Amino acid sequence: MADDIQRSRAEAFRNLHETGTFVLPNAWDAISAAVIAQAGAVAIATTSAAVSWALGRTDGQRLTRDEAVAQVARIVAAVDVPVTADVEGGYGPAPEDVAATVAAVIGAGAVGVNLEDSTAPGGPLFDRGAQRDRLRAARAAAAEAGLPELVINARTDVYLFGIGAPEDRFDEVLSRAVDYAEAGADSLFVPGLLDLPALTDLAGKSPLPVNVMTGHGAPSVPELAATGVRRVSLGPALAQAAYGRAAAAARELLDTGTYGALAGALDFGAVEALLR
C-alpha cells in the first residue's frame, strides 16, 4: 500500500497539471534519474524505449511486467521527486493485466503511469470502449493500492502511428480524450503531434490537459506553452543524446587516440555520490 510520502508526491505531481506548463525529462536507469533530478527537474518520467534498450531489448512492449517494474523501483529509489512510469500497453491486453501492472508500479513507488491505446507498435489501436475499460481498471487498481491520487496519462497513438486518414485524426484524438476522461484518465498524451495550431485547437477543446513528446528540432517549450500544452516530455531523446556522445567519444579514441569528446564528462566521484 502507498505510504504518506508516496501520496504526498502523487499530490504534488497532480498539482503540476493544474496550471502552466512543466517539463518531464525521461530517465531510463538510476543514474540518469539522479542526474535529471540534480539538474532541477520537479518530476521524472521513465521512457519505455530507453529502459528496453538498457535491458538489451528493442522498444515496443517487449519487456515483461517484472522487468519494467524492477527498473521503475531502481529509478524511484535514486531520487526524491515524483516519478511517473511508462507502462506501455499495460503488459497485457485485458483490464486485469492493466490493473496488475498499475498495482505493481505503485508498489515500486511510482505516482503516475502512461498507458498506451495501441495494441502493438504501429497499431492497431484498442477501440475506444476497450481502452475505457482498461483505464477504469487502472483507476480502480490505484484506489485499491491506497493511491487514488495516481496520475493516469492516457496515451493515444493516432498521430504517432498515422492511424486513419490525416483529415480524421484530430477528431479521433478529441473523441478519445472525451472517452478517456470519462474513464478516469487525468491527462492526454499525443506523441507525434507537434503542429502548433493543431495543439492550440486540441488544448482548447480537450477535457484533459495535453502532454506532448519533443526532441531536437521540435518547437521550444515556450512555444508549446503558448498553445496551452500543459506537460512536455522527451521520450527517449535524452538517452539517444547520451548514446550519441558515447559513440562520438569511442570513434575519436579509435580513430585518433584522443579524448576531446570526453570533455564535460561528470567526475567519477560526482557520479558515485549520486547513488549514496
Instruction: Kindly state the average pLDDT of the residues 99-118.
Output: 98
94 in Cβ contact with 135 (< 8 Å): no
pLDDT given at position 228:
98
pLDDT given at position 212:
98
**Helix (H, G, I), strand (E, B), or coil: what is residue 40?**
coil
Q: Is a pLDDT exceeding 90 seen at residue 275?
A: no
Q: Which domain holds residue 58?
A: 4-236
14-59: pLDDT as tens digits = 999 999 999 999 999 999 999 999 999 999 999 999 999 999 999 9
Maximum distance among all Cα pairs of the chain, rounded to whole angstroms: 60
Q: Is a pLDDT exceeding 90 seen at residue 108?
A: yes
pTM for this predicted structure: 0.96
Integer Cα distance of 253 and 265 in angstroms: 15
Residue 242 lies in a domain: no
pLDDT given at position 241:
96
Cα-atom radius of gyration of the chain, to the nearest Å?
Answer: 19
pLDDT given at position 71:
98
Residue 88 lies in a domain: yes
Residue 94 lies in a domain: yes
Residue 123 lies in a domain: yes
Identify the bridge partners of residue 85 per DSSP, sorted by sequence position. Answer: 113
Integer Cα distance of 28 and 247 in angstroms: 18
Secondary structure element (H or E) that encloses residue 134, with its range: helix 128-144
163 in Cβ contact with 157 (< 8 Å): yes
Integer Cα distance of 61 and 26 in angstroms: 17
pLDDT given at position 276:
82
Average pLDDT, the chain: 97
Residue 251 lies in a domain: no
The tally of domains found in the chain comes to 1
Three-state SS letters, 42-93: CCEEECHHHHHHHCCCCCCCCCCHHHHHHHHHHHHHHCCCCEEEECCCCCCC
Dihedral, 83, 152, 145, 57 alpha carbons, nearest 10: -60
65-77: pLDDT as tens digits = 999 999 999 999 9
131-181: pLDDT as tens digits = 999 999 999 999 999 999 999 999 999 999 999 999 999 999 999 999 999
Instruction: Kindly state the average pLDDT of the residues 115-131.
Output: 96
What distance, in Å, lies between the first and last C-alpha atoms of the chain?
26
Place of cell 504526498: 8
> Which CATH number is 152's domain given?
3.20.20.60
Residue 67 lies in a domain: yes
Residue 255 lies in a domain: no
